[in-house]
Chain A
C-alpha cells in the first residue's frame, strides 16, 4: 500500500477512535454532561478546519471568509428543515436532505464568490474573502421570512408587514436568526465528518490535489506544465465552500436558536487558527489542533477569566514546540520505539522491491 494511503487510514482511525471512545464514555456517564456536549461542536469544527485547510494549506490561498460559507449552509439548510418540519417527520432523513441542499447552496456561493475573488492572489484575496464573509453575515442579519395561511412572506431590512397574525409563524427573524429542529446527533456528525475527511484526503491524493499543490508552490511553473490554473483553484475553493456549508447545516441543527452574529470575523479567524497551528496541508494536524483548542476554553471555564490566558499560553507553546529541534528529536525517538518499529520493515521491503535505493 502507498505511504499516503497508510497515513490517511491512520488519520481516519484517530478520528473514529476519538469519537467512539468519547461516545462510549459519555453514554456510560463517565464524561459528564458538559464534556459530552462538546463532542458535537468539536466534530463540526473539525469539518470546518479540514475544509479550510484545503483552501489555505493545499491551494495556498489565505481565505478569511470561511464563516460566510458556513453561514450560507446553516441558514439554507435550516430554513429548509423548518419548512418541511411537518412534512418529513423522520429526523435523519430531514437533516440528510438539509445537508445536501445546504452544501449545494454553499457550493453555489463558492462559485459566485470564487470567480471574482480568484482573479486575485495573496493578501488581496484574503481581504476580499474577509469582505465577502462580512457581507453574507450582514445580509443574513436583514432577512425576514414569515409563513402564514397565505404562504411565505419575504422582507429585507424590515420586519414583514401584512401577515395574517393568527396563523403566522416566524421562519427567519432578522438578527434573531432561525430556530431549526434539533436534528443533529453525534452519529450524524461523525458520519459526515468521516465522509468529508475521505473526500478531502482522496482529492488531495489525486491529479487534482497535485495540480492545486503545484499552483501553490509555483504558479508560473504550474502553468508551464500545462495546468489550467483557474480551473483547479476554483475547484478547490468550491469544494472547500461546500464542505463548510455542510458543517453549517449541522451547526444550525444543533442549536436551539442561531443568530447571524455568530458567523462573524472571529469565527473565520478561529478556524484559521486551528488550521495554522495544526500545520498547513496536514489534515491530521488540523484535527488534533481543533480538538485541543476547542475543548480547552470549555474545560477551563471554571477558572473564569484565566481561561483565555491559558488558551494563549497553549497557542504559544504549540507554535514553539511544533518546530523545536528537541521536540522533533523526541518524536523521532518515539517513532523508533519497538512497537512502531514492527510496522516499518513491511513498508521498507515494498519500496525497496520497486526501486533499488
Chain B
C-alpha cells in the first residue's frame, strides 16, 4: 500500500439546519483513481454531502481533507481551485452560451490573461484564447460533442447536456470529480454508454470519482466501494456487492 494521503478523507462530518441533523457523523475515505458510490433513499442527505464537499454549505462540524489538505469551510470557487469539480442533479449549464463557451468557462482559471489584455487584444489574449479553443474542442471530442460546439447548450438533448456538464467539470482540471445522479432520466442504452464514459474518464484523465446514484445497475456495475446513507446517517460501507446484499440496506430501500 502506498503511503500517500487518500484523495478524499471526510472525518465526522455533520450539518444541522435548525433542529434537523441532515448529515451526522459521516466518515469516508476515497483512494486515488477509485470510483466510489454514495447511495441511499430519497432525502438521505446525499446531495447535502456534495454541497458540503464543494463549499455550498458550511459543515456544522467535522473536517474534509483533499489530498491531505484541509479544505473545510472554503468557498465554492476556492474549493474548485483546490481540485474538486462537480455536476448537478438538476442540470446547471450556462444555457444562453454555446457548447464550446460552456467548456471555455470551465477553463477560465487555467489561463492567465487579464481583462485589460482582453480589451486591448494584446498577443497573450490571442495565444491563450487559441489554446482554450483547442483544449475545449479536445474535451468535447471525448464526449462526442465536438460536432455541436456552436449550438446553444440549452438546445442540446438531455443526455448530451449531462455529458456537457461533465466535460465542463473536467475542464477545470480537477483531482476529484463529483457526479450527482449522472444517469437520472437516461434510458438503459444511455446508461450503459455513460458507464463506459465514466470508466474512460478515470483512465484517460487519471481521475477519482465520487458519484451519487439511484440506478443500482450502474452502481453495482462500476462502483468498487459504496457508502449507504439513510436519514443522514451512515447505514453501511464497504465493497459494493456485499453492501448491496446487506439486509439493512435492502430494508432501507424497500421497507420492512
Contacts and interface: CB of A to CB of B under 8 A. Distances in A.
A354 to B, nearest CB: 8
Given A203-B118, A210-B108, A213-B97, A220 B147 contact: no
Contacts of B95: 217-218
A13 B146 CA distance: 32
A207 B96 CA distance: 16
Nearest to B55: A223
Contacts of B147: 355-357
Contacts of B86: 224
Interface string B75-116: 111001100011010001111110001001110110101010
A224 B137 CA distance: 21
Which residue among A199, A214, A218, A225 has the maximum number of chain B CB atoms within 10 Å of its CB?
Answer: A225
Nearest to A213: B97
A135 B119 CA distance: 32
Given A214-B97, A222-B105, A207 B118 contact: yes
A229 B105 CA distance: 12
Q: Which of B94, B109, B168 has the most CB of A within 10 A?
A: B94
A203 B56 CA distance: 29
Interface majority SS on A: helix, strand, loop or mixed? helix
B108 A227 contact: yes
B119 A206 contact: yes
Nearest to B102: A214
Contacts of A205: 118
Q: SS class of chain B's interface: helix, strand, loop or mixed?
A: helix
A115 to B, nearest CB: 17
B115 A203 contact: yes
B118 A225 contact: no
Contacts of B137: 354-355
B32 interface: no
A214 B94 contact: yes
A211 interface: yes
A166 B101 CA distance: 65
Given A207-B118, A220-B92, A224-B85, A355 B54 contact: no
12 contacts: A3-B150, A202-B118, A203-B118, A206-B115, A210-B105, A211-B105, A224-B54, A225-B80, A227-B109, A355-B146, A355-B149, A356-B147
Interface of A: 3, 199, 202-203, 205-211, 213-214, 216-218, 220-229, 235, 281, 351, 354-357
Given A206-B113, A207-B115, A216-B96, 18 more contacts: A202-B121, A203-B119, A206-B115, A206-B119, A207-B111, A210-B101, A211-B108, A213-B94, A220-B88, A222-B94, A223-B77, A223-B80, A225-B106, A226-B80, A227-B109, A229-B77, A235-B115, A355-B146
